[in-house]
Amino acid sequence: MNYKNKKIEIVYPSDLIDNMENIPSKHVCPCSVLLDNKEIGGIFISCPSQDIEYFQILPSSPPQPHIKYRMFDFEKQIFVIEIWMQFNQNPERFLKMHLNPHDPKVKKLLKLAAKSKMISFLFYNPDTEQLSTAITGINDDETDWFVRNYKLSAKLKSAQKYYLILAEKVSEKILNPDRIYNYFPHKKPGFFIKDGGEQVMLQDVS
């Protein structure tokens, strides 16, 4: 992940901060943050202490794993997004996250990432209530992936039941050293900056 040398101020939707403890452990959901008055799409990651230690994620130093974005499908009808974060080289340790591109909130995340060419990852430890935020740029190939899959997702109908079936099938291929985090569907629009109304600044991130 790439960071500026100077301190950067990140603003969060207050609705997201107020509801962090309600997002189940080892689940993820889309959101956004404000960086220099620019809305950046993000993924909130509820990561318990055991995995925080396993991946060596330090609140004082946002992680910089290698990231890979993938899209799985069943007969071009049902789709699952899988994002890989590689935290270790030897042995390899991956945090793999599933997102539902049939969900309007995920569609919004894809659109924001394609537009801003940036994405944020919010690592929340429900055991200690600590939040560590990482902002990373998206290269040209990754931007193409976000643009292509936003256009695809925009055409998809809601398919929560069938999405869960495909996501479970994909999860069966996860290797033992890896950790899989499932998608958490919710109805709160305020997890995105421009929908959430009130905003809050928690910390400076370098």
3-state helix, strand, coil in the chain (%, to 5): 30, 40, 30
Rounded (10°) CA dihedral 59, 121, 57, 199: 20
pLDDT in tens, 92-145: 889 999 999 999 999 999 999 999 999 999 999 999 999 989 899 999 999 999
- Is the pTM higher than 0.85? yes
In degrees and rounded to multiples of 5, residue 65 shows phi and psi of: -75, 160
pLDDT in tens, 178-201: 999 999 988 776 899 976 578 888
pLDDT tier, 204 (very low <50, low <70, confident <90, very high otherwise): very low
Q: How does DSSP classify residue 180?
A: E
